[in-house]
Amino acid sequence: MKIIRSVAQMQKMMMRRAGKSLGFVPTMGALHAGHLSLIRRARTENDLVAVSIFVNPAQFGPREDYQRYPRPFAQDARLCRAAGVDYFFAPAAADMYPDGYATYTEVTHLSNVLCGASRPGHFRGVATVVAKLLNITAPDRAYLGIKDYQQVHIISRMVRDLNMPVKIVACPTVREPSGLALSSRNQFLSAEQKAGSAVIARALHHCRDLILSKKQRKSREIIQCMKRMITSIPGAKIDYVAVVDCQTLDPITVVGSVAAIVCAVRVGTTRLIDNIVVRSAVSR
């Protein structure tokens, strides 16, 4: 595995691929089983695999956890090597955003709702860094976890709107046995908070079952049910719970054949997100 710290060197290396396909997994490091599942998928579908490890300052607000975000570099490198990664790209912030940096990518509308409403500028930072990483690595496929539901939609839209020649592959959420979605931020949860946070996934599954069993299709009731369950988590503060259209992310009032239930919850100082897509044969 080649460890590459410079943007110029990565770009040069990516241009000399001799026709080999490349799967790319963008990450902010602190790799867990969710990331490893993306790497495994990339490994099976491509000749070469690149992983980026970059805690992107542009996607953190001034009062967010940029400084304390975990950076276990040596452990990440070890995991990637064991997973058969070919290129481990870990650029410095000053190389990605040199003095005078002035260009940003913004996917309008999709970026200002849900997580974007409480994290202004977050998705502009995400879209910008992913556009840069895709330009640097020029992959055939890029792998993202569907846990970050809005992020996957924004990146897919950016790629489509800007005619970027890459396929975005959305991969399933990996969960703890309790159901809690894996996240690099879970390590900030105490054991008690972690056990309590499993209620988020239980609430999503319960509400999906209500819809599939035709007991409930009204979004207002589904949101109330989610909120009732989630507020039982000690120290939980709900940022949002919404039932949305799977393409536009616009709120819907009655669930038809397909919808997504999405939520963000702060447990102590840790912000957790999760979602479930509900597909049923029910028509409006």
Burial class of 177 by CB neighbour count within 10 A (0 to 12, 13 to 18, 19+):
exposed
In the list 37, 56, 111, 150, the residue contacting ligand PAF (rule: CB under 6 A) is: 56
Tokens, residue 199: 């209620």
Closest CA relative to residue 39, chosen from 144, 180, 184, 112: 144
265 forms part of the interface with ligand PAF (CB under 6 A): no
In the list 4, 22, 26, 83, the residue contacting ligand PAF (rule: CB under 6 A) is: 26
Q: Which stretch binds ligand PAF (CB under 6 A): 60-68, 107-115, 125-133, 192-200?
A: 125-133
In the list 7, 10, 28, 77, the residue contacting ligand PAF (rule: CB under 6 A) is: 28
Q: Which stretch binds ligand PAF (CB under 6 A): 41-49, 62-70, 123-131, 166-174?
A: 123-131
37 forms part of the interface with ligand PAF (CB under 6 A): no
35 noted as active-site residue: yes
181 forms part of the interface with ligand PAF (CB under 6 A): no
User: Who contacts 206 (Cβ-Cβ below 8 Å, separation ≥6)?
Assistant: 225, 229
| Rg (the chain; Cα; Å) | 19
In the list 13, 23, 27, 105, the residue contacting ligand PAF (rule: CB under 6 A) is: 27
Using an 8 Å Cβ cutoff, are 235 and 109 in contact? no
In the list 148, 149, 182, 260, the residue contacting ligand PAF (rule: CB under 6 A) is: 148
User: Who contacts 34 (Cβ-Cβ below 8 Å, separation ≥6)?
Assistant: 145, 147, 173, 174, 181, 182, 183
Q: Which residues are known to be catalytic?
A: 35
Which residues of this chain interact with ligand PAF, rule CB under 6 A? 26-28, 56, 59, 126, 129-130, 148, 151
